Structures are given as structure tokens and as C-alpha cells.
């Protein structure tokens, strides 16, 4: 296993510090919800994940905006605007003393009543932050990870709120990731409902073909903020970027494969279903460019 997650780490419910919950800072262990919360029973929670580098959350406002947009996709408005979310996140990071870590903003419908309808149910928001430098080991970052294609597929846009970072959609990712790890892989590759290449369980997919970047269009999965950052970096470096539908057979044409995501950053892939790839110069160059970008001082 190459994941940095360890069963010996402290349980998330039993840590020191504070969590921002509904506009106030509360002790970490007191940041709880009721077992009859609507979001728990009917999958109405939305969330974000953002990285902290040198004490600064990367592209904070973009993540806050996407959290609000995800909530609207699920039919509710957050009780805090983007500026308030930005301020809360910045202060949580400061109070927790996070240098290089991770932030998890989350919103959900509360426990006013339990029925399928979410109309009139209160909305709660929390932000937590902790130190978490890497998902995968240094060896995995250098050599790449192995993916196995999952039997689970990304749903069609008219069957699920695919533009939202919704907790309910991550049930597919959990099922796919658990099965992949049981089979000896590090992560799973998901196809979409049409059988085309889509993404990994928590990261977007890129293929390097003839020196150019190719990536599936985000019509059945989340358009990642890291994804867009890496595409911008590639264009700045003079690389051609093609966003287009791709069949699984196109993996045979790829010289390099990598994933992008807030937690994954730029993660090389060394194999998919036994087909091996090199960790080449394009992947390495983009990983280095991304590492520089996330630590640049924001424009004044």
C-alpha cells in the first residue's frame, strides 16, 4: 500500500484544536451532528478539499465558490457567503497552526425533520483543517501508482448532480477504491456511462500522447481546480492541450499517464490494468511547475 493514510493515526473525532461550525469556533471534539440529520440519511451533503502550502490555502476563493455552487446543485443555499467562508477557512488554518496540510469545508441539511423532501430543512456548514503533507509515499510520487479499471461507472448528467462535489456521488468512489485495493492496486480508474475514460476515485485523468496533453471533458465528473491549474501550466509551457472524449483503447497510445487533484497534486501513474507507462518528462515538468505555483505569493 502506498497511501499515507494509516489506521494508527488518531481518529478524526478525537483530536485537539478547533472546528468552525455554523459561524463559531468550537472545540474539535464537540463538532458533531445529530444522527437524524437529513444530509446523513439522504445524501445531501456537499464538501470541498483544499491544500495549505506554507500556511496559505491554495485557490481558496475558487473552492469556496464551488462549495456554494455544489449546494445550489443539490437545491439549497449556504447560510454564509463566499467571503465569510474564505475568512473562516483562513482563521481555522491559523488557529490550527497548519503549515502544509488540508482543509475540509462541508455543508449538510440538518435534523429539522426526516423525509425525502429537503424543503425548509436548516443548512449547516463546518470547516476543519489538519496537517497532511502527502496522500502517497515519496516512492509512489517518484515511480507512479497502479490503477485498476473499476466495474463502477460515472453516471450520466441527467441521472445525478455530476457538477456538484456531493457526498452521495463518492459512494461510487469508495466502492471502486476498496475493490481496487483488494486487488492490489493503489486506486481505481472509472469509465463513464458510455464506457469512455473518466477519472480516478479522487483525481482527474491525463494522458500524454505524442508530447501533447489529452484529458476527458468533465461532463460526468467534477472539473477539478487542480485540473484547470495544470492545464494552464501546460499551455504556459507551450504544450498542446486537448480536452476530448477518449476510449479506453487510447491508453495504448499514451507515453505517460498522470492524475491531478487537490490531495493527489500531480501524481504519476506507472500502470493501468497491467499496461505499464514511464514517468516521463512531461509529467515531471508539470509536477515541478505545480509545486512552484502552489507556493507562489498570491497577486497583491
Phi, psi (deg, nearest 5) at residue 28:
-50, -50
Enter the C-alpha cell of residue 188: 481505481
Phi, psi (deg, nearest 5) at residue 286:
-70, -35
User: Environment class of residue 146 by beta-carbon count within 10 Å: exposed (0-12), middle (13-18) or buried (19+)?
Assistant: buried
Q: Domains of the chain: which residue ranges?
A: 18-131, 138-293
Closest by CA position to 129, among listed 147, 106, 108: 106
Q: What is the CATH number of domain 18-131?
A: 3.30.470.10
Same fold for the domain at 18-131 and the one at 138-293?
Answer: no
Residues with Cβ within 8 Å of 208's Cβ and at least 6 positions away in sequence, in order, are 214, 254, 255, 256, 257, 258, 280, 282, 283
How far apart, in whole angstroms, are the C-alpha atoms of residue 252 and residue 73?
37
Task: State whether residue 295 is helix, strand or coil.
Answer: coil
DSSP 155: P
> 19-36: buried (b, 16+ CB within 10 Å) or exposed (e) per residue?
bbbeeebeebeebebeee
pLDDT of residue 8: 54
pLDDT of residue 3: 45
Would you name the residues annotated as active-site residues? 165
Enter the C-alpha cell of residue 80: 454564509
138-293 under CATH 3.40.190.10, yes or no: no
How far apart, in whole angstroms, are the C-alpha atoms of residue 21 and residue 27?
10
Contact 165, 193 (CB under 8 A): no
* Count of Cβ atoms closer than 10 Å to residue 75 Cβ: 12
Give the residue ranges of the chain where pLDDT is below 70.
1-8, 299-300
Interhelix angle 60-73/82-96, nearest 10 degrees: 130
How far apart, in whole angstroms, are the C-alpha atoms of residue 206 and residue 268?
10
Helices of type H across 202-269: 225-236
- Paired residues of 275 in beta bridges: 272
Amino acid at each position: 500500500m502506498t497511501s499515507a493514510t494509516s489506521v494508527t493515526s488518531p481518529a478524526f473525532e478525537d483530536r485537539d484544536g478547533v472546528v468552525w461550525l455554523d459561524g463559531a469556533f468550537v472545540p474539535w471534539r464537540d463538532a458533531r451532528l445529530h444522527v437524524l440529520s437529513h444530509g446523513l440519511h439522504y445524501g445531501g451533503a456537499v464538501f470541498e478539499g483544499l491544500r495549505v502550502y506554507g500556511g496559505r490555502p491554495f485557490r481558496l476563493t475558487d473552492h469556496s465558490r464551488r462549495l456554494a455552487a455544489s449546494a445550489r446543485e443539490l437545491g439549497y443555499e449556504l447560510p454564509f457567503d463566499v467571503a465569510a467562508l474564505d475568512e473562516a477557512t483562513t482563521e481555522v488554518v491559523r488557529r490550527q497552526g497548519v503549515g502544509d496540510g488540508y482543509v475540509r469545508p462541508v455543508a449538510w441539511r440538518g435534523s429539522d425533520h426526516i423525509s425525502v423532501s429537503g424543503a425548509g430543512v436548516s443548512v449547516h456548514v463546518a470547516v476543519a483543517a489538519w496537517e497532511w503533507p502527502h496522500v502517497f509515499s515519496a516512492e509512489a510520487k517518484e515511480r507512479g501508482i497502479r490503477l485498476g479499471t473499476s466495474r463502477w461507472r460515472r453516471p450520466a448528467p441527467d441521472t445525478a448532480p455530476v457538477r456538484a462535489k456531493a457526498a452521495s456521488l463518492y459512494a461510487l468512489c469508495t466502492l471502486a477504491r476498496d475493490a481496487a485495493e483488494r486487488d492490489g492496486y493503489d486506486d481505481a480508474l472509472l469509465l463513464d456511462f458510455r464506457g469512455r475514460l473518466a477519472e480516478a476515485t479522487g483525481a482527474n485523468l491525463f494522458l500524454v500522447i505524442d508530447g501533447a496533453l489529452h484529458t476527458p471533458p468533465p461532463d460526468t465528473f467534477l472539473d477539478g481546480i487542480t485540473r484547470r491549474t495544470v492545464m494552464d501550466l501546460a499551455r504556459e509551457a507551450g504544450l498542446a492541450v486537448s480536452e476530448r472524449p477518449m476510449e479506453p483503447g487510447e491508453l495504448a497510445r499514451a507515453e505517460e499517464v498522470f492524475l491531478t487533484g487537490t490531495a493527489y497534486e500531480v501524481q504519476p501513474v506507472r500502470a493501468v490494468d497491467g499496461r505499464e507507462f514511464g514517468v516521463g518528462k512531461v509529467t515531471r515538468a508539470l509536477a515541478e511547475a505545480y509545486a512552484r505555483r502552489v507556493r507562489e505569493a498570491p497577486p497583491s
